[in-house]
Amino acid sequence: MAVSVGGSSGSGRKKSLDAELNLVSFIDLLSMCICFLLMTAVWLEVGSLQVKQSHGTQAAAPKGQAHEVELSMQNSTALDWVIKKNGRLVEKQQLKAASIEELSQNLAQAMGAFVTAHSGDPATISSAMITTSSAVSYGDLIRVMDALRRNQIVNIGVVPANRDSAVAGVRAFRGGA
């Protein structure tokens, strides 16, 4: 970068020590940087939640000693959850709340309490299956999945709804437009 030292005209004069930066080229460079970064910026970061759906003919993965959770959402404020181990019932609870935020928070706490209570036993919950109804929105389903993933349950599946329930859901979605 060019730096000019002022006051050099007089031969016998003392040179000024005030250095002056050439700001014009500096501003040009910064403007170009800002334009490039603004044009290439990604403002909405799209992420993903992984769901494994198995086909009817595919063999089930070996379950070992881990527990499985079955969640049944009736609506956005109530759900039943059942914990099984090797097909045998271990725990069953019903959760109710005033809102989906509260419900997902209660679910995360209940899962955490189960793992803590069975800390001696290898109480890892390996997988979860979620059954929903047409009254539950997709956004609320994601919130419940979030609560499960916060408790290290990453192998999540969703039970496909029946045709009538899905058609009712489509009509409700169109009606809300």
Partner 1 sequence: MNLKSQNLGDRSFSRHLVARQYQRKKRARILIAGLMLTSMVDMFSLLVIFLLQNFSASPELAVVAKGVTLPISATSRELKDAPVLAISRAGIFLDQKFIGSAEELLDRPEPLMKRLSQLREIWQRSHPQQEFPGEISLQADQSVSSAVVSRFMGMLPSQAFGSIQLAVVGAGGGKG
Residues that bind partner 1 (CB under 8 A): 23, 26-27, 30-31, 33-34, 37-38, 40-42, 44-55, 58, 73, 132-143, 145-146, 149-150, 158-163, 165-174, 176-177
What's the min distance (Å) between Cβ of 73 and partner 1?
Answer: 8
User: Across the strands, what pairs with 69?
Assistant: 83, 128
What is the rounded distance in angstroms from the CA atom of residue 26 to the CA atom of residue 111? 57
Closer residue to partner 1 in complex, CB, 14/55: 55
Tokens describing residue 157: 């599946």
Residue 78 · residue 95 · CB < 8 Å = yes
Closer residue to partner 1 in complex, CB, 39/120: 39
What's the min distance (Å) between Cβ of 152 and partner 1?
Answer: 10
Residue 107 · residue 144 · CB < 8 Å = yes
Tokens describing residue 145: 């999945």
Closer residue to partner 1 in complex, CB, 19/42: 42
Three-state DSSP state, 144: helix
Closer residue to partner 1 in complex, CB, 106/137: 137
The DSSP line for 92-117 is: EEEEE-SSHHHHHHHHHHHHHHHHHH
